[in-house]
Amino acid sequence: MTCQQLRWYFDQLNHDVHELPAEAMRHVSHCASCRGLADKRKEVLASLRLLRESAPTMTASLDAAVLASYRQRMAIPQLISTGSRWKRPGIWRLAAAAAVAVVILAAAALVRRTASSGKSHAQQPPATEIARTSVPESPKAAQPGEHSNRRNVAKATPRRPNDPDAYSLRVTPPIRQDDSQGFRSLMYCDELSCEGGMDVVRVELPALPAGFLPAPNMPIRSVSADVLVGADGFARGIRIVH
């Protein structure tokens, strides 16, 4: 036997040197390097054998404790099932799917809401613009029922298609507290307490539609009035000027 073969024995087989075949033992007795290797192995295996033989034994209390734990666990099966419910992978998958569905629905609702509010914003011009468009420069702009936001303004505008210059309108700066005297509320928005700034629009109305009955022998005259227009385009109050 060669040194290489002996090392192969040591590598492949976890045998004690005493269990080596006679041929290997003969080689060990002659070869100094292999003898050193075998002695080293012998020492290690002897130490490990000593350690193995000195292994402590388990105490009886451990057996009793394990058995008691088993009985305790088996006595409350419902607790076990409740505790392990959320550990089942199916539950988590279901919960994850539900969460994803909720997120998708919420996102869809948000997108829809944003789109609709953007559309309404796009359709609703600023108050000043509404007031301007309600000027009876063009009779079509004063058509009632064109848009709900313009309804009140349109009502306040006279229908005089043949004489468009007969009426005037101007937008004044936002009203001050002392300028608010003499206005009569036109809408549910009581007094002048509506939020947001208001514009005062001076309009001229024919006396008849305005409710002023002229004398039979007198020609139809116009009435000047200041109309308070809110930020939303609704007329809030009116004050007869002349």
Residues 6 or more apart whose CB falls under 8 angstroms from that of 35 comprise 28, 29
Q: Which of 32, 55, 218, 220 binds other proteins (CB under 8 A)?
A: 55
Does position 60 interact with other proteins (CB under 8 A)? The reply is no
d(CA 69, CA 79): 14
d(CA 70, CA 72): 5
Site track 136-155 with other proteins (rule: CB under 8 A), x = hit: --------------------
CB atoms within 10 A of CB 117: 10
d(CA 160, CA 205): 10
d(CA 54, CA 234): 99
Does position 92 interact with other proteins (CB under 8 A)? The reply is no
Site stretch for other proteins (CB under 8 A), options 9-17, 26-34, 164-172, 184-192: 9-17
Does position 84 interact with other proteins (CB under 8 A)? The reply is yes
Nearest CB to other proteins, comparing residues 5 and 172: 5
Nearest CB to other proteins, comparing residues 50 and 115: 50
d(CA 47, CA 54): 11
Q: Which of 18, 30, 32, 56 binds other proteins (CB under 8 A)?
A: 56
The footprint of other proteins on this chain (CB under 8 A) covers a number of residues equal to 32
Q: How far is the CB of 28 from other proteins (least distance, A)?
A: 16
Q: CA dihedral defined by 230, 164, 123, 232, rounded to 10 degrees?
A: 0
* Secondary structure (DSSP) of 195-234: SS--EEEEEEEETTTTT----TTSPP-EEEEEEEE-TTS-
Residues 206 and 220: beta-carbon distance below 8 Å = yes
Q: Which of 4, 59, 78, 123 binds other proteins (CB under 8 A)?
A: 59
Q: Which residue has the tokens 């994803």?
A: 100
Residues 198 and 191: beta-carbon distance below 8 Å = no
Q: How far is the CB of 2 from other proteins (least distance, A)?
A: 18
Site track 15-54 with other proteins (rule: CB under 8 A), x = hit: -------------------------xx-xxx-xx-xxx-x
Q: Contact residues for other proteins (CB under 8 A)?
A: 10-12, 14, 40-41, 43-45, 47-48, 50-52, 54-56, 58-59, 62-63, 65-67, 69-71, 73-74, 77, 80, 84
